[in-house]
Amino acid sequence: MRYLPCLILFVATPLLAANVWKWRDANGEMHFSDQPVPGAEQVSIQSSSTYTAPVTAASSSASSSSKSAAAVSYTNVEIWKPSAEMTVANTAGIVNVSVRVEPALAKDHHLALYLDGRLVPGYPPQGLEYELSEVERGAHTLTLAVLDTKGRQITLSAPVQFYVQQPSVLRRP
């Protein structure tokens, strides 16, 4: 019974912090609160970045027609630019991506690039370089998959986490 107040507080805390208000005081300083004050404006809070691993298909039921392609064993599938834990600064949302695949990609295989667990549309199926646009500030994860003609995953690169830092009007040099 004595744990009940703690449990209620634990469950109710996210509900209490749902609204954020901002306002400037007489000195021009910005303040934030979970309670509205006269002249305050409500701030919309975006959810944090999350990573969801791409769904992998079982390749144990490969047909005999794709055995020649399946015989390729990739020794290296990696994202080398941006490098792990790299901070990309002042890019206006543009991030250049370079990948390596060894041995060379089989003609009936193609690449799929995932940004934060979502397939990057327009990624060239045989491309080793690509320019991402509209990448928001914050932490992001890239993963590269080699797929067969039926879209089944053959191999997957290690995930690479990188950070985008955009200039802020609040931070003066």
Confidence at residue 72, expressed as pLDDT on a 0 to 100 scale: 80
Write out the DSSP string of 40-70: -EEEPPPPPP---PPPPPP-TT--GGGHHHH
For residue 63, pLDDT beyond 50: no
Confidence at residue 83, expressed as pLDDT on a 0 to 100 scale: 92
Q: How far is CA 93 from the centre of its chain?
A: 13
The single-letter DSSP state of residue 135 is P
CA 16 vs CA 9, 12, 32, 69, 70: distances in Å: 10, 6, 15, 55, 54
* Distance separating alpha carbons of residues 33 and 61, to the nearest angstrom: 57
**Mean predicted confidence (pLDDT) in 72-92:** 89
* Distance separating alpha carbons of residues 93 and 115, to the nearest angstrom: 13
Q: What is the mean pLDDT of the chain?
A: 79
Assign domain 68-165 one CATH number from 3.30.230.10, 3.30.70.980, 3.30.390.10, 2.60.40.10.
2.60.40.10
Q: Which pLDDT band, with edges at 50, 70 and 90, does 59 fall under?
A: very low
Confidence at residue 50, expressed as pLDDT on a 0 to 100 scale: 62
Radius of gyration of the chain (CA): 23
For the chain, where do the domains classified as CATH 2.60.40.10 start and end?
68-165
For residue 161, pLDDT beyond 90: yes
For residue 66, pLDDT beyond 50: no
For residue 11, the SS3 value is helix
Q: Give the strand order in the sheet containing 20-24.
A: 30-33, 20-24, 41-43
Confidence at residue 35, expressed as pLDDT on a 0 to 100 scale: 81
> Which of the two residues, 105 and 92, has the higher pLDDT score?
105
For residue 91, pLDDT beyond 50: yes
Tokens linked to 167:
């200039």
The pTM for the full model equals: 0.57
